[in-house]
Amino acid sequence: MENLVEKVKKNIASKNQRFPCYVNRASSIGYFVPELNGCVRKGVYERTNWQEKELYDSNVLLIFAEGNNQERQVLKDLADAGVDIIEQQSAFEWKEYQISGHLDGVYIEEGKAIPVEIKSMSPFIFDSIHCFEDFKKKPWTRAYMAQIMIYMLFKNIDKGIFILKDKSTGNLKQIDVNLDYELAENCIKTAEKINKHIKENTLPEKIKDIETCKDCKFKLICCPDINFGAPLKIIDDPDFENKITKSLELKESSNEYDKLWKSITDKAKASVVNGELNQLVGKYRVYGKLSSKGSFTTKIDVI
Amino acid sequence: MSENKEVVVNETSLQMMPSSDTQLEQTVKNAERYIELQNNIRRMAVKLTNQNDWVNQNSTPYMEISGATKIANTFGVSMGDMIFEKETIKDDKGEYIIYSCMALLSFNGRSLLEEGNSSTRDAFFGKTKEGFKPLSEVDLVNIKKKAKTNMLNRGIKNLLGLSYTWDEIEEITDNKINRNAVTGVTYQKGTSGGNEDTDLEKQQRQKIGQMLMIMTGDDKENAANLLEEITEWTTKEGEKRKGKRSARDISTKAVKVAYGNVKKRYIDFCKKNNLDYSEVE
């Protein structure tokens, strides 16, 4: 049978190309702001080395396309509900900071033009966002924070609106945004830094952040040093290994088991480095992560 | 109560010369412990993968980059000093570009300089049914990316000593990953893509290794040095290019030339040492 889906993916991939970039895009600035774990160097590369940017694969392009479709649908739903969103997809350019962007729309309330930004997302992310601070969790949601700050500054207004859509259920959520002066200033400063580097033909220092660098589309020219994860420590401790073996042989919830398990978890917790434990103890992998609340669950895999 | 100590696995500890029976006993113990640890590392690595991370390549298990990356993430492999080299080569089919990616990979106090290559004649990015794409139609970013992927995939495996037989993998995973369930790839003899060895090239590659080991008295480091010296070459512009340190790293196109040069050196060596070299003649 002919693979029809593959045809769609190939078609999308064939339209995938690089475009020259001569300005700082409002939707991208969040990826460059150091205070949002961003990388200024990436911001410079976007403009100076756009020809060498890795292209997205067809699965990611499908996600982008889906996002655009969802956004159009939300605007239609708002219009059907009698909500008047004006200036839809209006382009703007802020020459002073070499920033450009497209507003999804503007809502007029009490004579004020409030920028409206529509974002669709997975149910997991949708459920985790209840206020503006919650956008800090993921790199792309942090970029949304910067984006709306830029729009609010440009529109000279201290209010903004996010309309979020759950891609799975179609559920909608509104997050009202107040201008965060510090964040807004950091966004503008970042744009200024990028502009200065481009003018002087220089590059900012590399950052060292696996989360940022691993998916960066400029890693082939930046060549960052990367630690793939917390180093696995190889521990030669037959006593500890024996305790683990015994605990696995014992029945859970027996007194002896409880005692043994406590001594194992105490020892494991004491060996945590930078919030993580990653050890190879004989034929066991002992690992776990310290939660933000300070709790630790020891996990053991038999090799 | 035993002492809890972190073990830095490296081979130098095995090279110490024992000067007494006690030391000899300790050295044997260390060696046994080292083998056990290495075995545990190998077992753990396989268990981190699933069957989508493997292909059956000419009846040999080949771990894809997806598997190698999972292992690197869990073991906390680090990568630094990455550089790319670009080389333009001309032959009777026209001009093409080879990207080499080099980086230093480290784990548990041990480091390895690894290299990966990819060319604009890559079977996936550089070819159509009609033949090689014109250079202008090949996305060089993809070629660079593939060179890096090749470097990383090979480096992670070499750094952690991860090469397996199907029997081992099936035993470690209780048959969850097995040769019949994974995707099979069979390369035809004399493929036109220029990326895979023919049987003759495979034999030559193997022979190169054997001749080097004989010439260096089974010293791997010296064998690598010798190969590097023999395969060093100079570009048309007069720039010297480093040779390869492993027969595995010699490109398919260069195997024949490298084999000829190593063989010449080997025959000289045999003559000097009154050894029989009829096998390679």
Q: Name which residue leads in pLDDT, B269 or B44.
A: B44
Tell me the C-alpha distance between B104 and B82, whole Å: 7
**Same structural domain for residues B214 and B129?**
no
Say if residue B87 is in the same domain as residue B147.
yes
If asked whether residues B63 and B153 sit together in one domain, one would say yes
B147 and B242 co-located in one domain? no
- DSSP per-residue letters across B25-41: HHHHHHHHHHHHHHHHH
Spatial neighbors of A181 by CB under 8 A, at least 6 apart, are: none
In DSSP terms, A164 is beta-bridged to A119, A173
Residue B25 lies in a domain: no
Residues in B whose CB is inside 8 Å of some CB of A read 1-9, 33, 36-37, 40-41, 43-44, 47, 69, 72-84, 107-108, 139, 141-142, 144-145, 148
Most confident option among A279-288, B125-134, B226-235: A279-288
Pair B157, B202 in one domain: no
pLDDT of residue B2: 43
Q: How far apart are CA B121 and CA B193, in angstroms?
A: 7
Provide the pLDDT for residue A145.
97
Distance from CA of A292 to the nearest CA of B (A): 21
| A88 Cβ contact partners less than 8 Å away, ≥ 6 residues apart | A75, A103, A104, A105
Of the candidates B6, B79, B81, the beta carbon closest to that of A234 is on: B6
pLDDT at residue A159, as a whole number: 96
d(CA B244, nearest CA chain A) in Å: 23
**A215 inside 8 A of chain B by CB:** no
Give per-residue pLDDT as tens, A238-285. 899 999 999 988 877 688 888 999 999 999 999 998 889 999 998 999
Strand runs (DSSP E) across A1-103, as ranges? 24-25, 85-86, 90-94, 99-103
Contact A107, A116 (CB under 8 A): yes
B141: closest CA among B105, B101, B104, B113? B101
Nearest to B44 among A54, A220, A285 (CB): A285
Q: What is the pLDDT of residues B264-279, one digit of tens each?
A: 898 888 888 888 777 7
Q: pLDDT at position B11, please?
A: 44
Q: Give the residue, B6 or B230, on which the prediction is more confident.
A: B230
Which residue in the block uniquely carries the two structure tokens 């790319």?
B84
Residue B150 lies in a domain: yes
What's the Cα-to-Cα distance from B277 to each of A35, B267, B271, rounded to whole Å?
A: 68, 6, 8
Is A210 in CB contact (< 8 Å) with chain B? no
Length reported for chain B: 281
Contact B241, B232 (CB under 8 A): yes
Q: Residue A183: which residues within 8 A CB-CB, separation 6 or more?
A: A33, A35, A36, A145, A146, A149
Q: Which of B113, B146, B162 is the last residue in one of the domains?
A: B162
Contacts of B5 in chain A (CB under 8 A): 235-237
> Last residue of a domain, which of B112, B141, B162?
B162
Please check whether residue B39 lies inside any domain of the structure: no
| Residues A139, A211 contacting (CB under 8 angstroms) | yes
Q: Is residue B11 part of a domain?
A: no
Asked if B67 and B139 sit in the same domain, the reply is: yes
Looking at the structure, tell me whether residues B157 and B55 fall in a common domain: yes
In angstroms, rounded to a whole number, what is the distance separating the alpha carbons of residues B176 and B169?
9
Q: How many whole angstroms separate alpha carbon A41 and alpha carbon A36?
A: 14
Distance CA A294, CA A292 (A): 5
Q: Which tens digit of pLDDT belongs to each residue from B56-111?
A: 988 899 999 999 999 999 999 999 999 999 999 998 888 999 999 999 999 988 99
CA A69 vs. chain centroid, Å, equals 21
What span, in angstroms and rounded, lies between the C-alpha atoms of B103 and B118? 15
Q: Residue B66 and residue B50: Cα distance in Å, rounded? A: 10
User: What span, in angstroms and rounded, lies between the C-alpha atoms of B54 and B176?
Assistant: 12
Mean pLDDT (chain A) is: 92
Instruction: Verify that B55 and B157 share a domain, yes or no.
Output: yes
pLDDT of residue B193: 40
Angle between helices A181-200 and A139-155 (to 10 degrees): 90
Residues B86 and B142 in one domain: yes
Q: Which range of residues forms the domain containing residue B138?
A: 51-162
Q: Is A270 on the interface with B (CB under 8 A)?
A: no
Above pLDDT 70, what percent of chain B?
87
> Chain B contacts of A301, Cβ < 8 Å?
44, 47
Distance from C-alpha of A236 to C-alpha of A196, rounded to nearest angstrom: 53
Give yes or no for A225 touching B (CB within 8 A). yes
Residues B146 and B204 in one domain: no
Is B71 part of a structural domain of the chain?
yes
Number of domains in chain B: 2
Task: Mark A247-277 as b/e (b = at least 16 C-beta within 10 Å).
Answer: beebeeeeeebeebbeebbebbbebbeeeeb
Strands A85-86 and B183-185: unpaired
Query: What are the pLDDT digits (tens) for A170-181?
Result: 999 999 999 999
Query: Of B106, B141, B162, which closes a domain?
Result: B162
Quick one: B137 and B223 in the same domain? Answer: no
CA distance A72 to A89: 10
Report yes or no on B183 lying in a domain. no
Looking at the fold, whether B154 and B232 belong to one and the same domain comes out as no
The pLDDT confidence band at residue B22, using thresholds 50, 70 and 90, is: confident
CA–CA min distance A157, chain B (Å): 42
Q: What is the ipTM of this complex?
A: 0.81
Q: Is residue B143 part of a domain?
A: yes
Q: Answer whether residue B176 is part of any domain.
A: no
Nearest CA in chain A to B71: A228
* Residue A52 in contact with partner chain B when CB distance is under 8 A: yes
